[in-house]
Structure 1
Amino acid sequence: MTETIERLTGETTGAGAGEREKERERTPETALGTYGLTPYIAPLTVPPVLRPAAGDVLRETEVALRPAWVRLHPQLPPTLMWGYDGHVPGPTIEVRRGRRVRIAWTNRIPKDSEYPVTSVEVPLRTDGRPQATTEPGREGVEPNKDVAALPAWSVTHLHGAQTGGGNDGWADNAVGSGDAQLSEYPNDHQAVHLPSGERKIPLLIADRNLDTDEDGRLNGRLLHKTVVVQQRNPETGKPVSAPFTGPYTTVNGRIWPYADVDPAWYRFRLVNASNARIFELVLIAEDGKPVPGAVHQIGSDGGLLPRPVPVDFDAELSALIAAPAERFDLLVDFRGLAGRTLRLVNKGPNQPAGVPDPAGDVPCPPVLEFRVGESCEEDTFELPEVLSGSFRRLTHDIPHGHRLILLTPPPTKGAGGHPEIWEMTEVQDTAGLQLPADGIVQITGPDGTTKTYRRTARTFNDGLGFTIGEGSHEQWSFLNLGPIVHPMHIHLADFQLLGRDAYDVSGFDPAAGGTRTPIRYDAGTTIPLPPNERGHKDVFRVPGSQMLRVMGRFDGAYGRFMYHCHLLEHEDMGMMRPFVVMPPEALKFDHGGAHGGHGEGHTG
């Protein structure tokens, strides 16, 4: 408590403290007066660790969802949130390799509990000013009463492990107050010798916004403020809003905290838990320039990379790009940085690291400050040359099926002003086909062959389209016809990125809902895969006018799963589809083939 008070008053003591305070006064972050909070005065919190007794399915561990009052920043009043066992974020659950754990996610949120987020939609600004979502407060707009009336209806789902469909956290399998979601989780992850104990720290990063009182002062209440990009959609009569992004970045539930670290190796398990913000993270020094050689990525969504990837913030990897739900296992070497102050910042697309970029929706670059101590016990850890000796690249000579998924632009016919997921099936007989036609798309691939596809599903509630034999490999190709970057997430399986291809998508006519001329492969544009995307992943960024090809094996579990865009508002607007994994012997009795259910197996 004393340390926190000293940081607030600026009367810190000890070696280097005065210089740090003077240095803070010189930086752009102190020019954030309109946002009401001072960066780097709250210590980073580390979630508690939960170790279930024996780690055995015969024993059950309850984790209760409860309302909690959390102080996001020392200069804010407490914020009402719903958390796990009263913690935001919830505890880290550690289980020994080779054992399963059973968790009862129990909803202990009272039925009459106040919904902890105020929701508003504000008009689109057309006068050149940054959009209102980059500012706190409601702009005088009344809260959405339907959101305020939402009940405590909760579901918890898992990323990065093979668990049956009944344990996965299916969207509709939510429980009300007083009920529990029972889930079992295996743990077959590889054991490695890496920094541990106090030098292994989870970093859960999320952007947020805050409401203000009638005098314009921050009141601590969470605010979901989005911009109405279309006042009324002619098909639905409802307004169309862009996904949420906010000006305040929280790390482990605190806004712009600091962390005291030793001049030693640290392991950080980082996850982007934002609704929609894609971070471009850079580690900078006191002079605002990137720190080379300190950061190494050793793992991604699905586990360890084959080898460490240096994140030197050069031309090849100028920032650590983190889309919602992407995970990063990082090693940071602070040994040569004793006594220094370093900052992890969000780089705006139009500005250097550490400089505010309101036009690029990054009005507040701060994320996390590292204060490196002067000395510590000798650190004997050495960065390994090989991390996963068992890693093997998936290649096309493995028998596999194919799926084609289109990501459509918001103005597309019948979409209600929102982007959609279209599942496509090849049309074998095109005689008499008149183009353009709603749901019909032609694509000219790298070999110059033009194929015709028809849409078989587009919304979450359309019939089941994909049925997959357990243990089989599949290649899923996501072709983005719009300008929005979609982070696509597939449940259950780990995937490897096979490649990114550029396409000319101008032949797609949103008003017609199909192509007037074929979408064509762009042979003149090469898109290399960055080295940190060459491991196992289950979340992949798909930029506009690109086809992303991924391959994975659907093994280890049966049941109904989901794949979806991980921009939360897109997912909730219907950019989510089901698939079912079943024993391969049962596929011959499945009737999904009539609507494109089975991936065609081949080795090409």
Structure 2
Amino acid sequence: MTEIIERPATTGPITAPNWGLTKFLDPLPIPPVLRPHSWWSQDMITIPMIVKRQRLHSELPESTLWTYGGHFPGPTIEVRSGKQLRISWSNEIDGEFPLAAVQGPLATAPASRPGRELDQKGYSIIEGVADLPSWTVVHLHGSRTNAGNDGWAHNAGLKGTSQLAEYQNRQQAMPLWYHDHAMAITRFNVHTGLAGMYLIRDEEEDALGLPHGDHEVPLIITDRNLDTDPVTHALTGQLLFKVPALPNGTLLPFTGPFNLVNGVIWPHVDVDARWYRFRLLNAANSRFYTLNLVDENNVPHNEAVRLIGTDGGLLPAPAELPSAGLTVAPAERFDVLIDFSRFPGQKLKLRNADPRLGGVEPDLMEFRVDSRAKHDPFTLPEKISASYTRLVHGTTLPEDHDHVWVALLLNAEGHPELWDLEQVEADPGGQGIIQLQDPNGGLKTFRMIGRVFDDTTGIFIDHDRWAVWNIVHVANGGPAHPIHIHLTEFQALFRRAFTTTFDQATERTTQPIDGFTDVPLEKYEEGWKDTIIVNPGQWVSVAGQFGGGTGEFMYHCHILDHEDEGMMRPFVVHPPEVAKFHVHPGGSHHHDG
């Protein structure tokens, strides 16, 4: 049996319009909750992928969406740590692909405007998107599971097929999420609505007495664009994938003018004057959010906010928000507490202060605090997770571990790439060379051994072994990349800035990268993560243990446009007893360094 809990939304008054839509008009919807139960040690449920027509705002016509179980976002799946769940993800999607996809010059028609602007602004249809079939594969992001259950990008299936996946859930309490991961079209499939949240619960979390029930709320944030009628210019409700193109034809990632929370544009929620727990997820294709809690005059009140968890679980102690707000990259999750008892009878907003807004409305949603005092059994504790251990070389991080080296860059055409690197004794000359003056290990020389997904696999890690991933963003400028590594939770060890010497034209460093400056980690960055922001001119080092599953997995940039266009590479986790018999290029079983 599967228990489905639907939570009704609340209602409220009209406020000011924006793009012809009234802000904070609609109540915040809460996705239905699936809590699988059985008398046996495992459960199995079926979640169909189906077409659904849904209003993204009550003043809009309905939008055609692809959904999990008829909901956008999909149902929140709640499980207990250690209790296995099997899901049959059933592709039952009918009809045409629901996106209108266009490209055009950024200078003449900003992609942050609704409508195609095909005639007067130089935009054109992106060929082939309208012809895409419903070809889907589900990745449970953050899950430790065998590779056969992980949503390998090439293993998507067409309508009438099912993906059978087994999730052991042998993980501490943490927020995961599920989304489509089909090769080359993830950005389009997720954009149609294929995403939802998955929560693992455990006894340590239970013992904290955190706000729960109606006082624990998922906030799944994303952005969209919408088409307009060519005559009336009214919004039609059709999803519009509108992206700018550079003069050389390179498409920039999607960002849209409409921000949605739980599938609704600019919603509001009525809250009691007490502590609430929000499970925050950035499910956008590429948009970063820098979040602040502000009053009606846009004055920040982040002193009422505490972070208690990240992608991989609970923090050791509550952390304050950074002074400029909490930056949340695509795929990152945060466990957030807000004390509304400080604001009886007031209205507050969740507001985006990210400098990459590009003129888009910064308000995301409104909180309407009840004026009556409420009894609140919750008191913010000084400590959150007693099981948390900070990774330190030689103690909690074993000395015997592997090193993986990855480069992020802009290639000769100005397109972002992700390279697997192999350490070599000396500079062999030619392209694809990165040299780095390691403060702890002298000169290191690396050559590129893979730059697109289907190149030779270059990373092999023994099951249950610890590995330190060194991610070096050598581009001269360019975007920050949120890097996601499947199978593991990791901790950031350090973040170092440097002046890059990488030359795009020759695709190599002109001299060894040196002159590193430590960039202090935010307190929450010391928590368990599976996605980490790597800025241009930075070397970020993370450490994780690769247990809980074996097989061939993926790591990639979680800007979905970048992932689809090449910034994704495979790696293998296999038993050490098998590794000695495995013959593969290079002859080494690990990336030691």
TM-score normalised according to structure 2 size: 0.88
Higher strand proportion, which one?
2
Please give the residue correspondences for 1:287-306 in structure 2 after superposition, counting only pairs within 5 Å. 287-306=297-316
SS in 1 for 2:148: helix
* 2:233 pairs with one of 198, 213, 216: 216
Within the alignment, does 1:518 sit opposite 2:512 as a pair? yes
Cα distance in 2 for residues equivalent to 1:494 and 1:266: 26
1:71 is displaced (CA, Å) by 0.4
Q: Which residue of 1 aligns with 2:402?
A: 401
For residues 376 and 178 of structure 1, the distance between their equivalents in structure 2, rounded to whole angstroms, comes to 53
Is 2:117 the partner of 1:139? yes
Does residue 568 of the first structure (1) align with residue 587 of the second (2)?
no
1:312-323 map, 5 Å: 314=323, 318-323=324-329
Q: Are 2:346 and 1:336 equivalent residues in the alignment?
A: no
For the aligned residue pairs, the C-alpha RMSD in angstroms reads: 2.0
559, 574, 588: which one aligns with 2:551: 559
Asked if 1:380 corresponds to 2:390, the answer is no
Secondary structure at the aligned position of 1:533 is classed as helix
1:160 is displaced (CA, Å) by 2.2
1:509 maps to which of 500, 503, 508 = 503
Counterpart selection for 1:206 from 217, 222, 230: 222
What is the one-letter code of the residue matched to 1:465? Answer: G
Give me the whole-angstrom Cα distance separating, in 2, the residues matched to 1:90 and 1:448.
47
Separation in structure 1 between the aligned mates of residue 45 and residue 11 of structure 2, nearest angstrom? 37
Letter paired with 2:67: G
Q: CA deviation at 1:97?
A: 2.9
Question: Which of residues 456, 463, 469 is equivalent to 1:463?
Answer: 456
Structure 1 Cα separation of the partners of residues 30 and 12 of structure 2: 21
Instruction: Say if 1:502 and 1:526, in contact at 8 Å, map to a contact too.
Output: yes
Unmatched 5+ stretches in structure 1:
11-23, 232-238, 350-358
Alpha-carbon contact 2:10-2:270 (below 8 Å) kept = no
Please state if 1:308 is matched with 2:314: no
Question: Would the aligned equivalents of 1:67 and 1:82 in 2 still touch at CA under 8 Å?
Answer: yes
**Does the CA-based 8 Å contact 2:437-2:443 persist in structure 1?**
yes
Check the 8 A contact 1:508/1:518 in 2, yes or no: no
- Contact 1:284–1:345, Cα closer than 8 Å, also in 2: yes
- Cα deviation for residue 429 of structure 1 reads 4.2
AA matched with 1:260: D
Structure 1 residues 595, 587: CA separation in 2 closer, same or farther (over 3 Å shift)? closer
Cα distance in 1, alignment partners of residues 167 and 329 from structure 2: 25
Matched, 1:228 2:248: no
Q: Highest Rg: 1 or 2?
A: 1
The answer (yes or no) to whether the contact 1:418–1:573 under 8 Å persists in 2 is no
Q: Residue 370 of structure 2 aligns to which amino acid in structure 1?
A: G
**Over residues 557-603 of structure 1, what are the superposed CA-to-partner deviations in whole Å (9 max), with x where a residue is unaligned?**
111110000000000001000111111111111223616651227xx
CA distance in 2, matches of 1:502, 1:135: 35
Q: How does 1:425-504 map to 2 (within 5 A)?
A: 425-430=422-427, 433-434=428-429, 437-447=430-440, 449-482=442-475, 483=477, 484-504=479-499
Pair 531,59 (structure 1): closer, same or farther in 2 beyond 3 Å = closer
Match of 2:141 among 155, 159, 175: 159
2:367 pairs with 1:370: yes
Q: What number of residue pairs does the alignment pair up?
A: 541
Instruction: Trace 1:47-126 onto structure 2 (pairs within 5 A).
Output: 47-54=31-38, 58-110=42-94, 113-125=95-107
| Match status 1:255 vs 2:239 | no
Would you tell me which structure has more helix in proportion to its own residues? 1
* Structure 1 residue 292 displacement after superposition: 3.5
Amino acid at match of 2:559: L
Secondary structure at the aligned position of 1:570 is classed as helix
The Cα offsets for residues 343-402 of structure 1, whole Å up to 9 and x where unpaired, read as 0011142xxxxxxxxx84142111010000112541110112111111111122112111
Gaps of 5+ in 2: 1-8, 173-201
Q: Distance in 1 between matches of 2:302 and 2:426?
A: 57
Q: 2:167 aligns with which of 166, 175, 185?
A: 185
User: CA shift at 1:487, angstroms?
Assistant: 0.3
Q: What does residue 250 of structure 2 align with?
A: 240
Pairing 1:548–2:540 present:
yes
Asked if the contact 1:348–1:361 (Cα under 8 Å) also holds between the matched residues in 2, the reply is: no
Other structure's SS at 2:140 match: coil
Is the Cα contact below 8 Å between 1:486 and 1:566 reproduced in 2? yes
Q: Is the 8 A contact 2:11 2:27 kept in 1?
A: no
Is contact 2:422-2:591 (8 Å) kept?
Answer: no
1:269 and 1:362 map into 2 onto residues whose CA distance is 27
Q: Please give the residue correspondences for 1:574-589 in structure 2 after superposition, counting only pairs within 5 Å.
A: 574-589=566-581
- Among candidates 416, 419, 426, match of residue 416 of structure 2: 419
Distance 1:55 1:527, change over 3 A: farther
Contact 2:341 2:373 in 1 (8 A): no
Once structures 1 and 2 are overlaid, which stretch shifts more, 587-596 or 364-373?
587-596
- Corresponding residue to 2:352 among 343, 346, 349: 346
Where 1:521 maps in the other structure, the secondary structure is coil
**Structure 2 residue 170 is matched with structure 1 residue 176:** no
Q: Which amino acid aligns with 1:569?
A: D
TM-fit CA distance, 1:288:
1.1
User: Which amino acid in 2 is paired with 1:521?
Assistant: G
TM-score of the two chains, using structure 1 as the length reference: 0.86
Q: Give the C-alpha shift of residue 5 in structure 1.
A: 8.7
Distance (Å, rounded) in 2 between the aligned partners of 1:426 and 1:597 = 13
Q: Please say if residues 491 and 544 of structure 2, whose CA atoms lie closer than 8 Å, have aligned partners that are also in contact.
A: yes
In 2 relative to 1, CA 277–104 (structure 1 residues): closer, same or farther, beyond 3 Å?
same
Does the CA-based 8 Å contact 2:60-2:235 persist in structure 1?
yes
Q: In the aligned structure 2, how far is the partner of 1:494 from the partner of 1:202?
A: 21
**CA gap 1:448/1:58 in 2 versus in 1, 3 angstroms:** closer
Whole-Å separation in 2 of the counterparts to 1:132 and 1:217: 18
Q: Given the superposition, is the C-alpha separation of residues 195 and 360 from structure 1 closer, same or farther in structure 2, using an over 3 Å criterion?
A: closer
Task: For residue 55 of structure 1, report the CA deviation from its aligned partner.
Answer: 7.9
Q: 1:343 touches 1:370 (CA, 8 Å); kept in 2?
A: yes
Could you say if the C-alpha distance between residues 55 and 345 of structure 1 is closer, same or farther in structure 2, counting changes exceeding 3 Å? farther
Distance 1:598 1:222, change over 3 A: same
Counterpart of 1:356? none
The answer to whether the Cα contact below 8 Å between 1:230 and 1:241 also exists between their aligned partners in 2 is no
